Amino acid sequence: MGNFRRVCLLTVAVFLAVCFSFHGLAVDGNRTVAGSQTRTYFQETRQELTIHTIEGRQKGPTLLIIAGIHGDEGAGCLTAERYIDVKLEKGNLIIVPRLNGPAVDSGKRCGLGGDMNRLFNLPPGSSNPDAKLVNLAKQLIRQSDYVLNLHQGHDFYNPRWVSRKRNPSKWGQSNVIDKATYHLPSGRKLELGNFAKQVANRTNQRISDGDFHFTVNNTNTSGKRSRHREQRGSLTYYSLYHQQKIALGLEATKNCSLAEAISYLTIAINAAIEEAGIRAEALPSESRQSAGELWEARSKSLSKGKGKG
Ligand SMILES: [Zn+2]
């Protein structure tokens, strides 16, 4: 019996060690407040990464918000940060405001290992310096039901050629999906096209200027004739094809002020949260004014931190 107890205790200890090491990745910093937790990885390195987890009072779906995979699309990071103090009645949020820290810090698309949105098909054991960040993102995707990857693109996506600034090769103001209907081995279907369309409908009801309405952008990434085969290494493609999650790229246009882009992304995220069936006590304000005030406050604190003006 004594031996049996020792074996049981050892088993429990090993199980807990595996759980707390988060699949082999040690947590450097940890802060827990009722219903929410903040964890920091790779602390004191250029690739420091903070993950915010918010649990609702009632069980429900989990939505993952990732920003900063591209460092020159600043509206995404600023918008994601607005969700870290949200209180939830139902469902859960996981928020990563700066996935690619070195890229965000330099304001450039790529970080240490190239374009991170092409690294989600790296071979196991890759020596790419961003592989550890990508692997961490993959763990978060596994815990989620819905995935949003925030971006900013030039001009405006349209399925047909309307003008030089509004055509199928552009990305701005679109909900990007890799496939409209994904067939699961169980026979069930993931209807990404419907989800993206419903999110666009909810979003557009709150945007008065029709030129800035969101359109569903199905890149049909796995198709032989896809114009976006490079997206097979993307975060959303990985989420759908390897984890069977409903994943959307939310692209705000760069052809507007930063405050407007923050406002558009806030509206689109709020719409996705509602469509997913997650309920919050209150969601961040969608007005341009509040997005502008946030941006001003943030610029002041940044310039203070750098010892400027
Ligand atoms: Zn991007």
How far is the centre of ligand 1, averaged over its atoms, from the C-alpha of 169 (Å)?
14
How far is the centre of ligand 1, averaged over its atoms, from the C-alpha of 4 (Å)?
54
How far is the centre of ligand 1, averaged over its atoms, from the C-alpha of 153 (Å)?
7
Write down the domain spans for the chain: 27-305
Q: Which are the contacts of 28, defined by CB distance < 8 A and separation ≥ 6? A: 40, 41, 42, 43, 44
What's the rounded mean pLDDT across residues 74-96? 97
Q: Which pLDDT belongs to residue 195?
A: 98
Q: Which pLDDT belongs to residue 302?
A: 54
How far is the centre of ligand 1, averaged over its atoms, from the C-alpha of 12 (Å)?
43
- Of residues 62 and 24, more confidence is placed in 62
How far is the centre of ligand 1, averaged over its atoms, from the C-alpha of 305 (Å)?
27
Instruction: Indicate if the pLDDT at residue 92 is higher than 90.
Output: yes
Render pLDDT for 230-280 as a digit per residue (tens, 0 to 9).
888 999 999 999 999 999 999 999 999 999 999 999 999 999 999 999 999
Q: What is the pTM of this model?
A: 0.87
Q: Which pLDDT belongs to residue 44?
A: 93
How far is the centre of ligand 1, averaged over its atoms, from the C-alpha of 73 (Å)?
6
How far is the centre of ligand 1, averaged over its atoms, from the C-alpha of 159 (Å)?
19
Annotation: CATH topology of 27-305: Aminopeptidase (3.40.630)
